[in-house]
Amino acid sequence: MIRASRMFVLAAAVALPALAGGCATMRAPAQGGAPAVSPEGVKVALVGETCTQSREPDWKGANLIEVQLALAVTNPTSAPLMVHRDQFRLVAPDGTAVQTITYGAADPLSVAPGEQSFELRFMTRGGLRCNTPMDLETRGGVLAGDHPVTLASVRFIPQNPS
Does residue 108 belong to any structural domain of this protein?
Answer: yes
Question: Cα dist. 63→50, 54, 55, 66, 77 in Å?
Answer: 16, 6, 5, 10, 42
Q: What is the pLDDT of residues 28-47, one digit of tens each?
A: 777 787 999 999 999 999 99
Does residue 119 belong to any structural domain of this protein?
Answer: yes
Rounded-to-integer distance, Cα 42 and Cα 40, Å = 6
Q: What residues does 45 pair with on adjacent strands? A: 72
**What is the CATH number for 118?**
2.60.40.4170
Does residue 90 belong to any structural domain of this protein?
Answer: yes
For residue 16, pLDDT over 50 is answered with no
Cβ 113 vs Cβ 75: under 8 Å:
yes
In this prediction the pTM is 0.80
Which structural domain range is residue 84 located in? 25-157
Backbone angles phi, psi at 159, to 5 degrees: -65, 155
Does residue 82 belong to any structural domain of this protein?
Answer: yes
Q: Smallest Cα–Cα separation from 24: which of 55, 53, 3, 62?
A: 53
Domains contained in the chain, number: 1
Does residue 121 belong to any structural domain of this protein?
Answer: yes
Q: What is the pLDDT of residues 48-96, one digit of tens each?
A: 999 998 887 787 777 889 999 999 999 999 999 999 999 999 999 999 9
